[in-house]
Amino acid sequence: MWNIGRMEWRLLMRQYSSYSFVVLWVVILSVLFLIARNDADFAGYTNVTGTIANILLYLLPLFMLISGSFAIAGEMENGQWRLLCTYPLSQTMYVAGKWLGQWLGQTTLFTLSFGVSVALSSFAGISLPVKWVIALYNFSLFLIALFLMFGLAVGAFTSTRWQALTVSVGVWFLFIMIWPTFLIAVLNIVPYPLIVPLLQAATLLNPAEVLRVAFVVELGGSAIFGQAYDHLIHLWQKRFGLILIVYAIGYLCVLWFMATWKLTRRKQR
Amino acid sequence: MRRYADHWLLVLLLLLVFPLPARAEETVQARIDEAPEYGVVRLASGVYDEAIVLSKPLALEGIGEVTIRSCRKSPVIAIYGRHVVLKNIRVVQCGDAPDMPAIYVTGHDHTIDGVRVLTNQQGVKLDHAHHTTIVHCAVQGEKNGNGIDLWESTQNVIHYTAIERVKDGIYMENSHNNVLSGNHIDNARYGIHVMFSNRIVLRKNISEKNIAGAMVMGTEQTTIEQNSFVQNKRNVHSQGLLLYDAAKTIVRKNRIAANRVGIYVEQARHNELTENDVSHNFIGMQWNESSNNRVSDNSFIGNVYDAQAIRSPDNTIVRNYWDAATKLDVTGKGVSAIPYRADPFFLALTVDVPEYQLFFQSPGMIVLQKLLRSPDEQVLTDDAPLMEQPTARKDRPSRSASLLYVMSAVMIAGSISGFIIGRKRP
For A66, counting Cβ atoms within 10 Å of its Cβ (0-12 exposed, 13-18 middle, 19+ buried), the class is: buried
The per-residue pLDDT for B4 is 56
Closest Cβ opposite residue B355 in set A12, A112, A199: A199
The per-residue pLDDT for B162 is 96
Asked if the domains at B38-188 and B189-393 fall in one CATH topology, the answer is: yes
Whether the CB of B366 is below 8 Å from some CB of chain A: the reply is yes
Of all residues in chain A, the one with the smallest CA distance to B233 is: A223
Interface contact B407-A230, CB threshold 8 A: no
Rounded Cα gap, residues B333 and B208, in angstroms: 37
Torsion of CA A202, A208, A214, A216, to 10 degrees: -110
- SS3 of residue B206 by DSSP: strand
Where are the alpha helices (H) located in chain A, listed in sequence order?
2-14, 16-37, 47-77, 80-85, 91-123, 130-157, 161-172, 179-187, 192-205, 207-218, 230-238, 240-268
Q: Which residue has the higher pLDDT, A4 or B89?
A: B89
Q: What is the mean pLDDT of residues A224-253?
A: 84
Interface contact B364-A224, CB threshold 8 A: no
- Counting every residue written for chain B, the total comes to 426
ipTM of this predicted structure: 0.79
Q: What is the mean pLDDT of residues B380-384?
A: 85
The per-residue pLDDT for B1 is 45
Whether the CB of B99 is below 8 Å from some CB of chain A: the reply is no
Q: How far is CA B27 from CA A231, B64, B105, in A?
A: 53, 18, 21
- Between residues 85 and 104 of chain A, which touch chain B (CB distance below 8 Å)? 104
> Which residues have CB under 8 Å from A244's CB, separation 6+?
A142, A214
% of chain B beyond a pLDDT of 90: 57
Whether the CB of B402 is below 8 Å from some CB of chain A: the reply is no
Give me the total of CB pairs closer than 8 Å, taking one residue from chain A and one from chain B. Answer: 178
Between CA B269 and CA B273, with CA B271 as vertex, the angle to 5 degrees is: 140
Whether the CB of B416 is below 8 Å from some CB of chain A: the reply is yes
**How far off is chain A from B335, nearest CA to CA, in Å?**
20
Question: What distance lies between CA B84 and its chain's CA centroid?
Answer: 28
Q: What is the mean pLDDT of residues A6-22?
A: 82
The residue ranges of DSSP E strands in B76-227, in sequence order, are 77-79, 84-87, 90-93, 101-108, 111-113, 116-119, 122-130, 133-135, 138-140, 148-151, 157-159, 162-164, 168-173, 179-181, 184-186, 190-195, 201-203, 206-208, 212-217, 223-225
Rounded Cα gap, residues B43 and A15, in angstroms: 87
**How far off is chain A from B160, nearest CA to CA, in Å?**
29
Interface contact A13-B237, CB threshold 8 A: no
**DSSP label at B49?**
E
At B147, the amino acid letter reads G
Residue B382: half-sphere exposure toward Cβ, Cα within 13 Å:
30
Rounded Cα gap, residues B125 and B110, in angstroms: 13
Rounded Cα gap, residues B13 and A40, in angstroms: 77
Q: Which helix (H) or strand (E) holds B423?
A: helix B402-423
**How far off is chain B from A262, nearest CA to CA, in Å?**
30
Please say if the pLDDT value at position A20 is more than 60: yes
Closest Cβ opposite residue A229 in set B260, B358, B404: B358
The per-residue pLDDT for B398 is 55
Please say if the pLDDT value at position B15 is more than 50: no
Q: What is the mean pLDDT of residues B1-22?
A: 50
- Between residues 133 and 162 of chain A, which touch chain B (CB distance below 8 Å)? 133-134
- SS3 of residue B73 by DSSP: coil
Q: Considering only CB atoms, which chain A residues are within 8 Å of B396?
A: 40-41, 127
Taking Cα atoms as reference points, which of A57, A42, A224 lies closest to residue A130?
A: A42
Rounded Cα gap, residues B175 and B196, in angstroms: 7
Closest Cβ opposite residue A122 in set B282, B358, B404: B404
Residues facing residue B193 across a β-bridge: B171, B215
Judged by average pLDDT, the poorest of A118-132, A242-256, B201-215 is A118-132
What is the radius of gyration, based on Cα positions, of chain A? Answer: 20
Whether the CB of A261 is below 8 Å from some CB of chain B: the reply is no
Q: What is the mean pLDDT of residues A132-142?
A: 91
For A125, counting Cβ atoms within 10 Å of its Cβ (0-12 exposed, 13-18 middle, 19+ buried), the class is: exposed
Rounded Cα gap, residues B196 and B216, in angstroms: 8
The per-residue pLDDT for B268 is 94
pLDDT category at B423 given cuts 50, 70, 90 is confident
What is the radius of gyration, based on Cα positions, of chain B? Answer: 29
Interface contact B304-A104, CB threshold 8 A: no
Domain borders along chain B are: 38-188, 189-393
Rounded Cα gap, residues A192 and A2, in angstroms: 50
Interface contact A181-B411, CB threshold 8 A: no
Interface contact A177-B396, CB threshold 8 A: no
**How far off is chain B from A36, nearest CA to CA, in Å?**
10
For the domain spanning B189-393, the CATH number is 2.160.20.10
Tens digit of each residue's pLDDT (9 = 90 or more) over A35-57: 777 655 555 666 678 888 889 99
Taking Cα atoms as reference points, which of A244, A74, A266, A80 lies closest to residue A151?
A: A74
- SS3 of residue B139 by DSSP: strand
Where are the alpha helices (H) located in B131-258, listed in sequence order?
none
Q: Are B120 and B95 in contact (CB under 8 A)?
A: yes
Q: Are B153 and B128 in contact (CB under 8 A)?
A: yes
Of all residues in chain B, the one with the smallest CA distance to A133 is: B404
The per-residue pLDDT for A231 is 79
Whether the CB of B354 is below 8 Å from some CB of chain A: the reply is yes
Please say if the pLDDT value at position B215 is more than 70: yes
pLDDT category at B105 given cuts 50, 70, 90 is very high
Whether the CB of B423 is below 8 Å from some CB of chain A: the reply is yes
Tens digit of each residue's pLDDT (9 = 90 or more) over B358-368: 887 788 877 77
Tens digit of each residue's pLDDT (9 = 90 or more) over B294-332: 999 998 887 777 888 878 888 899 999 887 777 788 888
Please say if the pLDDT value at position B20 is more than 50: no
Whether the CB of A223 is below 8 Å from some CB of chain B: the reply is yes
Whether the CB of A249 is below 8 Å from some CB of chain B: the reply is no
Cβ neighbours around B318 below 10 Å, total = 17
Instruction: Tell me the residue range of the domain where A211 lies.
Output: 2-268
The per-residue pLDDT for A43 is 56
Interface contact A130-B403, CB threshold 8 A: yes
Mutation test of the interface with chain B: which of A46, A175, A198, A219, choosing the one with the most B Cβ atoms within 10 A?
A: A46
Phi first, then psi: give them for residue A253, nearest 5 degrees: -65, -40
- Mean pLDDT of all residues in chain B? 86
β-pair type (B223-225, B162-164): unpaired
Interface contact A221-B304, CB threshold 8 A: yes
Q: Are B102 and B122 in contact (CB under 8 A)?
A: yes
Rounded Cα gap, residues A144 and B30, in angstroms: 79
The per-residue pLDDT for B399 is 59
The per-residue pLDDT for B25 is 57
Of all residues in chain A, the one with the smallest CA distance to B365 is: A180
* Domain total in chain A: 1
Interface contact A116-B412, CB threshold 8 A: yes
Q: Which residue has the higher pLDDT, B379 or B416?
A: B416
Interface contact B260-A224, CB threshold 8 A: yes
Interface contact B407-A133, CB threshold 8 A: yes
Q: What is the mean pLDDT of residues A219-232?
A: 73
Interface contact A224-B349, CB threshold 8 A: no
Q: Considering only CB atoms, which chain B residues are within 8 Å of A199?
A: 355-356, 358
Annotate B374-400 with b (16+ C-beta within 10 A) or e (fewer). Answer: beeebbbbbebbbeebbbeeeeeeeee
Interface contact A224-B304, CB threshold 8 A: yes
**How far off is chain B from A125, nearest CA to CA, in Å?**
9
- For the domain B38-188, what is the CATH superfamily, name and number? Single-stranded right-handed beta-helix, Pectin lyase-like (2.160.20.10)
Question: Is the four-CA dihedral A260, A261, A262, A263 of positive or negative sign?
Answer: positive
Q: What is the mean pLDDT of residues A104-115?
A: 91
Q: Considering only CB atoms, which chain A residues are within 8 Å of B363?
A: 54, 57-58, 176-177, 179, 208, 212
Interface contact B357-A122, CB threshold 8 A: no
Closest Cβ opposite residue B393 in set A40, A104, A195: A40
Interface contact B258-A105, CB threshold 8 A: no
Please say if the pLDDT value at position B345 is more than 90: no
The per-residue pLDDT for B6 is 58
Q: What is the mean pLDDT of residues B143-151?
A: 94
Question: What distance lies between CA A200 and its chain's CA centroid?
Answer: 20
Closest Cβ opposite residue A224 in set B282, B366, B401: B282
Q: Considering only CB atoms, which chain A residues are within 8 Å of B351?
A: none
Closest Cβ opposite residue A48 in set B302, B398, B419: B302
Q: Considering only CB atoms, which chain B residues are within 8 Å of A104?
A: 418
Rounded Cα gap, residues A201 and A187, in angstroms: 12
**How far off is chain A from B367, nearest CA to CA, in Å?**
7
The per-residue pLDDT for B347 is 67
